[in-house]
Amino acid sequence: MVGMRIADVQDQIDHELVSRTQIDHKIQEVAARVSADYAGKNPLFVAVLKGAVNTLAALSQAVSIPVQIDFMSLSSYGSGTQSSGSVTIRQDLSTDVRGRHILIVEDIVDSGRTLAWLSEELKRRGAASVEIFALLEKPARREVDVDVKYRGYEIPDEFVVGFGLDYDERFRNLDSIAVLKPEVYQGVHA
Ligand code: 5GP
Ligand code: MG
Ligand code: MG
């Protein structure tokens, strides 16, 4: 299958950070661990819309055990390329998480605020366990301590797009992770 690759939007891409081969490799590796760790537990994969959709789809197709999936839409107020501390629910899960083993599937951990909030919220609702898989992490920007059990790739402090991640709703369907040319951001990223 051929999707939208860097070559297709080359005029707007500065450089690639994580290739599709690397993404696929990491997902396979994590899927093997998750399949072993959650065997017999009927886990619920929870993804935060919209960025984590690709990662959740890829992980759920790579595991060898039955899983369920659900989605949540959160907004940390503010636009542009920075997330803020305060989180509100725009669209909630349709699943009762009481007694469930939850794996939060995230695209990227930046400050860690969204994940710290979500993880606490699911525990408050009575989840039996809550663990996190994050495909990407920006260690330089971490403000809040969150325990990411299944870790993907560490990337430098650069705003990235692709594999679900957007800039102004664009580039989500790019098949790998890349940094845009500065002029595309129009000076929004501080
Ligand atoms: P945090 O709460 O960890 O600061 O922010 C996490 C969320 O901010 C991510 O789930 C993602 O939606 C967004 N985010 C953080 N860094 C980036 C980035 O480099 N690119 C994009 N597209 N979104 C990001
Ligand atoms: Mg996200
Ligand atoms: Mg976004």
Question: pTM above the 0.90 mark?
Answer: yes
Q: Is the residue at 165 inside a domain?
A: no
Residue 6 DSSP label: G
Give kind and range of the element (H or E) at residue 73. Answer: strand 68-76
Which residue in 142, 124, 182, 163 sits closest to 5, CA to CA? 163
pLDDT score of 2:
77
Q: Is the residue at 96 inside a domain?
A: yes
Answer yes or no: is the C-beta of 114 below 6 A from any ligand 1 atom.
yes
The Å distance, Cα 83 to ligand 3 centre, comes to: 9
Atom of ligand 1 nearest to the CA of 158: 19
List residues with catalytic annotation: 110
For 116-132, the pLDDT digits (tens) are 999 999 999 999 999 99
Q: Is the residue at 190 inside a domain?
A: no
Give the Cα separation of 122 and 176 in Å (integer): 30
* 104: amino acid identity, one letter: I
Does residue 190 have a pLDDT over 60? no
Q: What are 56's two structure tokens?
A: 């959740």
Mutate to test the pocket of ligand 1, among 13, 14, 83 (most ligand atoms within 8 A of CB): 83
Residue of 69 and 188 predicted with greater confidence: 69
Query: 62: domain CATH number?
Result: 3.40.50.2020
Q: To the nearest 10°, report the CA torsion of 146, 147, 153, 159.
A: -10
Q: How many domains does the chain have?
A: 1
**Coil, strand or helix: which one is 17?**
strand
Once rounded to an integer, what is the mean pLDDT over residues 145-170?
96
What b/e string do you get for 124-142 counting C-beta neighbours within 10 Å, with b at 16 or more?
eeebeebbbbbbbbbeeee
Report, in this order, helix, strand and coil percent for the chain, each rounded to 5: 30, 30, 40
Q: Is the residue at 131 inside a domain?
A: yes
Does residue 82 have a pLDDT over 70? no
Atom of ligand 1 nearest to the CA of 112: 3
Give the Cα separation of 81 and 168 in Å (integer): 9
Which residue in 14, 12, 16, 7 sits closest to 163, CA to CA? 16
Residues 6+ apart with CB under 8 A from 151: 133, 134, 137
The rounded mean pLDDT for the chain is 93
Q: Is the residue at 112 inside a domain?
A: yes
Q: Is the residue at 184 inside a domain?
A: no
Q: Is the residue at 161 inside a domain?
A: no
What is the domain range of residue 56? 20-155
Answer yes or no: is the C-beta of 60 below 6 A from any ligand 1 atom.
no
Does residue 187 have a pLDDT over 80? no
Answer yes or no: is the C-beta of 72 below 6 A from any ligand 1 atom.
no
Question: What's the Rg (C-alpha) of the chain?
Answer: 16
Answer yes or no: is the C-beta of 162 below 6 A from any ligand 1 atom.
no
Q: Is the residue at 138 inside a domain?
A: yes
pLDDT tier at 64, thresholds 50, 70, 90: very high
